Structure 1
Amino acid sequence: MSSGAEVRAWRPGLTGVVEVLHAHFPSHAYPTHTHDAWTVLIVDEGAVRYDLDHREHGLAQAQVSLLPPHVPHDGRSVLPQGFRKRVLYLAPDRLGGDHLIGAAVDQPEYVDPLLRHRIHQLHRVLRDGQEDLEAQSRLTLIEERLSQHLRRAVVAPSDRYDSGVAVKLRELLDSKVTDGITLEDAAKVVHAHPAHLVRAFSREYGMPPHRYLTGRRVDLARRYLLDGHPAAEVATLAGFYDQSHLNRHFRKLLGVTPASFVRP
């Protein structure tokens, strides 16, 4: 590792993401190498120059880079102070197969503020490691948009407004408040594509499914607190990972901690 480098890498419990990497490289330069996964890269500080399949490319902070599996590339900083980056490594079958590799080689960078913001949001969720449904929702929209870019569809096709799908998903979430459900399993139950599920629900109810489920869990926690259950017990009863997880969302929604909520 180069002098002063900071690296954090982990495998999240999110199907389709084989590795997450957050790194700061003051001086490191990658030699030519390949990956067996799709590499979704954003730069937070500095800028990166790299050769992909013997052609030079650059990546600035406003862009997203998608490097295909099995294609040689290197990487180095444009600026003397180095660069800071975040990377998602997606399983090779996630974006439609090997026939799209050529499109990624031809055009590996995208100036797409929405896509970059969604990737930033997913990194935040994966860093916390507590919001499974949110991570699944964000990943499916990221993969959809990347696939659209690979197929040279600059604008995503408009969806039919489908309140029926949204209502079915809401009813399913209401039945799974404490246990939760994966986006993939929800899609099977409702018989709709995961990305369509997220969009239809968001349009109908003004929030994504994961936020709705979190709100239901906070409501459930309030009832348990008012019934006299201790906060540590309420976290599990309401479907949160632990008391810290409950506290964060409870305070975000209500402005106070669970303990303050039930004070006389």
Structure 2
Amino acid sequence: MVAQREVSAWRPSVPGVVEVFHAHFTEYAYPMHVHDAWTLLIVDAGAVRYDLDRHEHGTPEGAVSLLPPHIPHNGSPVTPYGFRKRVLYLDLSRLDETYIGPAVDTPELVDPVLRRRVGQLHTVLAHPGDELEAESRLTLIGDRLRGHLRPGPAEDSALDSAGPSAGAGLSADRPLARRLRELLDERLLEGVTLQEAARLVHAHPTHLVRAFSGAYGIPPHQYLMSRRVERARRLLLEGRTPGDVAAETGFYDQSHLNRHFKRLVGVAPGRYRLSSR
């Protein structure tokens, strides 16, 4: 078998994310090394074995691995077919050093909900322009990770549903949700980061996302994108080109508009424009 070493790495514009790293290795084995960031790892194919703090570990199917900063570890494929992995390196603003000990004791988190959310976040991070969604998802992933690393069950997230029951079981702070909705309406074109929004409305980012989702049934990023698509529809029906519309409705570029427009309307912007009479 020919040895495979395929990697893709980038640094997104999302606070707390040091690096995104995707790799496919067959024969390569990592020597002992350390990071100054948290390593949040999911394996999509194959399996990895590694030593952490002189104890051997593996990557169970469907699990999420969380390796703490400053603790030496290595890594090697379990089978000749190697492994495919996706990694987020997170700085200490997302998880502070108080969680290092629990993560050393239990680096493998068998949590299907967390695993799905981490995969969804990787998908979002691959597309520039969706930073608010990425930040929102990462904030709730961090909240769930802390739930695993301290006593008590991890909480569910309203991001996992988009209907009227989203955020069920959470006490919706409607005045707070309304303030965020007004801020999103004001910043429809330029957008706003989750950290900035939390500062402006005086709320913790996690609580802010939960309150909005509980009150309105959709998370803040989905509300913002639906408003932008709504404005884009009006401009397209006036005969404007998709490229111009993307620039005038707050999208990163035309492909960013295409992706969200097709998801919400069912057809691409160009086809929607041509359907106008």
Question: Shorter-chain TM-score: what band?
Answer: over 0.9
Please give the residue correspondences for 1:16-95 in structure 2 after superposition, counting only pairs within 5 Å: 16-95=16-95
> Given residue 87 of structure 1, which amino acid in structure 2 is its aligned partner?
V
Q: 8 Å contact 2:170–2:214 — kept in the other structure? A: no
Deviates more, 1:32-41 or 1:71-80: 71-80
Find out whether 1:122 has 2:121 as its counterpart. yes
1:159 shift after superposition: 4.2
Please give the residue correspondences for 1:186-205 in structure 2 after superposition, counting only pairs within 5 Å: 186-205=197-216
Q: 8 Å contact 1:49–1:56 — kept in the other structure? A: yes
Q: Where does structure 2 lack aligned partners over 5 or more consecutive residues? A: 157-168
1:14 shift after superposition: 1.0
Distance 1:159 1:37 in 2: 32
Please give the residue correspondences for 1:146-161 in structure 2 after superposition, counting only pairs within 5 Å: 146-156=145-155, 159-161=170-172
2:112 aligns with 113
Q: 8 Å contact 1:42–1:61 — kept in the other structure? A: no
Distance 1:35 1:48 in 2: 18
1:128 aligned counterpart, secondary structure: coil
1:75 aligned counterpart, secondary structure: strand
After TM superposition, the score normalised by the length of structure 2 is 0.90
Distance 2:153 2:236 in 1: 49
2:137 aligned counterpart, secondary structure: helix
Deviations 1:149-182 (A, max 9, x none): 2223323397432122211111111111111000
Distance 1:244 1:42 in 2: 28
> Given residue 171 of structure 1, which amino acid in structure 2 is its aligned partner?
E
Q: 8 Å contact 2:43–2:84 — kept in the other structure? A: yes
> Given residue 127 of structure 2, which amino acid in structure 1 is its aligned partner?
D
> Given residue 122 of structure 1, which amino acid in structure 2 is its aligned partner?
L
Q: 8 Å contact 1:12–1:19 — kept in the other structure? A: yes
- Given candidates 226, 235, 247, the residue that maps to 1:224 is 235
Distance 1:110 1:141 in 2: 16
> Given residue 30 of structure 2, which amino acid in structure 1 is its aligned partner?
Y
Find out whether 1:175 has 2:158 as its counterpart. no
Distance 2:51 2:197 in 1: 41
> Given residue 15 of structure 2, which amino acid in structure 1 is its aligned partner?
T
Q: 1:91 to 1:246 in 2, by over 3 A?
A: same
1:250 aligns with 261
2:225 aligns with 214
Distance 1:41 1:56 in 2: 16
1:259 shift after superposition: 2.4
Q: Which runs of 4+ in 1 moved over 6 A?
A: none
Deviations 1:104-125 (A, max 9, x none): 1111111111111111011001
1:76 aligned counterpart, secondary structure: strand
> Given residue 132 of structure 1, which amino acid in structure 2 is its aligned partner?
E
1:202 shift after superposition: 1.4
Q: 8 Å contact 2:172–2:210 — kept in the other structure? A: no
Distance 1:81 1:150 in 2: 32
Q: How many residues align?
A: 262
Deviations 1:181-240 (A, max 9, x none): 000111111211111111111122221111111000001111222333322111111111
1:44 aligned counterpart, secondary structure: strand
Deviations 1:70-126 (A, max 9, x none): 101111122221111000000134212x22211111111111111111110110011
2:203 aligned counterpart, secondary structure: coil
